[in-house]
Each structure stands twice: as C-alpha cells, then as structure tokens.
Amino acid sequence: MALEVKICGLKTEEAVDAALAAGADLLGFVFFPRSPRNVSLDEAVRLAERARGRTKIVALAVDPDDALVEAIAGRLAPDLLQLHGHETPDRVAEIAARGRLAIMKAIPVAEAADLAAVPPYVPHVARILFDAKPPRTPQSLPGGNGLAFDWRLVRDLDPGRPVMLSGGLDAGNVAEAIAVTGVSAVDVSSGVESAPGIKDPVKIAAFVRNARAAATRARPETETEDAPP
C-alpha cells in the first residue's frame, strides 16, 4: 500500500495550497475551540472546496454532540470524521450512523496496555490513529501536543483496520517513524508549524518529501525479503 500523508489543523488558503502543492493525501480541519487550529464550519467548508476532488477531507472533533456531527456531515461532507475525545465504542457507532460518516478513531498511547482499547472500536471505524497520550496538565489538548510516544509499541500492528501514526512527527523524524512502525499513513500538525496554528509551507513540503522518500526506501527492502530464493 502506498504511503498516505495527512496535514492537519489547516486554517488558511495559503496553508491548504501549500499542502496541496506538497502532495498531501488528506487535509484535516479542526473543530475544537480550545485548539489554536480551530476553524468555524463556514471556514472549513470554504477551505475544503479548494481541495475537494484532489485530496481527502478530514474533520477532527472532540466528543462532538449530535448537532455538530449533523452540521459537519451536512455541510462539510468529509471523507473521514476523526474522533479525538473520550468517545466510547457505542458512541462512535452512534456518530457513524447519525452522520453516515466513515470514522477514524484516535487512540492515545503511552504504554503497551493502552492498545487494549483498540479492539472494541474496530467494528465501528474505517481507520485507527495512534497518537501520543497527552500529559496530565491543564494546558494539554486532546492529541499528541507535539509529543511522540514509543513507536515500537505499534510496530507492524494490524488491528483489522488501516493504521495512521501521529504525535510529535516532523520532517526530521518521520522517516525513522515509518521505518520503525511500518505504517502506511502518517499525520502531522504542529510539526509543520512556525508557531501554534501557523503552518509553514517549507516545513510541509519537507515533511511530505521525507515521508515519501522513506516509504520508497522501505518497499524494495520488503520485496527483496519476500522474494523466493
């Protein structure tokens, strides 16, 4: 499977255009008022129209109520709804049915025991996203907060759904993350910013370039190992 790259937390036309120019496969828009990457639904709809048909559109929400789910589904019509809160498997199933949306559920990881949370979600989601567990501080937000976790915990993990890796990724470490985990999709937000919520086109381009190069290097090695003697 070819590597997919998601650039999340886009707020401006310039950021969307930079992600498109770099060749990102998925663009993410955040609906969470506490985040410096938060956008209104009107803004997200406008920005998504620049990319629709060229990339997949992802809406990120944290414990959304039914009204927000219906508004996102009806107006933005994303390819994926990324749930980044404390949604239970039953609530995820409700959201998927109410919005008729494919769901990507974020699972926060700090230790191997955290992976036990995955199986109950699998019947209700299209993808699983592994992110760093946020620190227990008042300032922390759902998500990786620019922090990485021990990638070896999800090395070659197959939960029965496609996996995406997030948390603390940037152009300098994405190649190592892909090599360690074997994932086929990576997600970045703060790692391509010059300041919280401000995307840097140069960092976006470098991230996508380095991720693609890492995936290209990995494929021949796999093919060689699997080839008959």
What three-state secondary structure class fits 38?
Answer: strand
Instruction: Indicate if 8 belongs to the active site.
Output: yes
- The tens digit of pLDDT for each residue in 2-25 reads 899 999 999 999 999 999 999 999
Among residues 8, 79, 170, 187, the one annotated as catalytic is 8
State residue 226's pLDDT score: 45
> Is pLDDT at 138 greater than 80 in this prediction?
no
**Dist CA 122 CA 89 (whole Å):** 9
State residue 156's pLDDT score: 87
Band of pLDDT at residue 144, cut at 50, 70 and 90:
very low
Helix ranges (H only) for the chain are 13-22, 41-51, 66-71, 89-99, 174-181, 201-226
> Could you tell me if residue 160 is left (phi over 0), alpha (psi between -120 and 50 degrees) or otherwise beta?
left
**Dist CA 1 CA 215 (whole Å):** 10
Q: How deeply is 1 buried, as exposed, middle or buried, from its count of CB atoms within 10 A (0-12, 13-18, 19+)?
A: exposed
pLDDT (average), residues 110-127: 97
> Could you tell me if residue 31 is left (phi over 0), alpha (psi between -120 and 50 degrees) or otherwise beta?
beta
CB burial of 55-82 (b: ≥16 within 10 Å; e: otherwise) equals: bbbbbbbbebeeebbebbbeebebbbbb
State residue 221's pLDDT score: 45
Cα-Cα-Cα-Cα dihedral sign, residues 24, 89, 68, 141: negative
> Could you tell me if residue 171 is left (phi over 0), alpha (psi between -120 and 50 degrees) or otherwise beta?
alpha
Mean residue pLDDT across the chain: 91
Separation of CA 115 from chain center? 17
* C-beta separation of 150 from 159 below 8 A: no
From the CB of residue 42, how many other CB atoms can be counted at a distance below 10 Å? 9
- The tens digit of pLDDT for each residue in 49-97 reads 999 999 999 999 999 999 999 999 999 999 999 999 999 999 999 999 9
pLDDT (average), residues 143-164: 85
State residue 140's pLDDT score: 54
Question: Tokens representing 98?
Answer: 């109410």
Among residues 79, 131, 170, 187, the one annotated as catalytic is 131
Q: Among residues 2, 20, 29, 47, which one has the least CA distance to residue 189?
A: 29
State residue 74's pLDDT score: 97
The full set of domains in the chain, from first to last, is 4-226 (3.20.20.70)
Instruction: Indicate if 131 belongs to the active site.
Output: yes
pTM of the model: 0.90
User: What separation, in Å, do the N-terminal and C-terminal C-alpha atoms of the chain show?
Assistant: 24
Per DSSP, the residues of 90-150 read HHHHHHHHHHT--EEEEEEESSGGGGGGSGGGGGG-SEEEEEEPPPSSTT--SS-TT----
State residue 229's pLDDT score: 35
